[in-house]
Amino acid sequence: MSSQPHLLAVTPWKVVRDTRYDVAVLPWGATEAHNYHLPFGTDIIESDYIAAESARLAWQAGARVVVLPTIPFGVNTGQLDILMTINMNPSTQAAVLRDVANSLVRHQVKKLVILNSHGGNDFKQMIRELQAQLPELFICTINWWQILPQQDFFENPDDHAGEMETSIMLAIKPESVLPLAMAGPGKAKSFAIKAFREKWAWAPRQWTKATEDTGVGDPSRATAEKGRRFLDAVTRTIGEFFAELAKADPAKLYR
């Protein structure tokens, strides 16, 4: 039997054919610059790891959770002037999500979790629309970086490519991280309009006008140990959620 039956991409048909999955997990990342020191695939690498480890823990708890291959492109309309940023429009995401969801319905999978790894992605309205079209499939989404308070693990708040993301990458793929001396400071400009700064009004950021090095957050205090502590905590929390969701009856979610 596959030693990683929770990962669809590496599991053979012989194993999949004999397994009934309770929950499918769709990791969703982005391809974009992450300061000077982190790779363009940072969001993909993070979502790969967090989805896989969380599902492994849930599987150990008896939940049949399967992780689908990560979608590598996210909404990056505000970064298209940065060389090799790859944008996927929300309308395209909605079409991809609909096709994945329809496939799962055909195979009797009842629950889908979108594990989001990119701040520019927002699946809530897509889920509302699919909820009406596919009532037999329960769909939800989580942003893994919002689950636990950053201040419990890191000294400097991280918005993009700062201490948190750098620590995570040092923990899971250190060979892809350039020396921290090569990183930019991650300083970012705020909106000039008060309502946007206070966040009761919203507009997308034009990235190169907000930050010179593409980072938003100081990475200088990042360490692999901090990353491991955070990843252990967040994957345990998500794994418990996967296990609870696997046992839940979608018709009895309220009490």
Adjacency order of strands within the sheet including 65-67: 65-67, 23-28, 111-116, 138-143
Structure tokens at 42: 């940072």
Fold of 8-245: Rossmann fold (3.40.50)
Give me the residues of the chain with pLDDT under 50, please.
1
Write out pLDDT tens, residues 3-44: 789 999 999 999 999 999 999 999 999 999 999 999 999 999
| pLDDT in the model for residue 1 | 46
Residue ranges of the domains in the chain? Answer: 8-245
* pLDDT above 90 coverage of the chain, percent: 96
Structure tokens at 212: 């010179």
| pLDDT in the model for residue 157 | 86
Q: Alpha-carbon distance 168 to 217, whole Å?
A: 14
| pLDDT in the model for residue 222 | 98
Please check whether residue 100 is in contact with residue 13, taking contact to mean a CB–CB distance below 8 angstroms.
Answer: no
| pLDDT in the model for residue 158 | 87
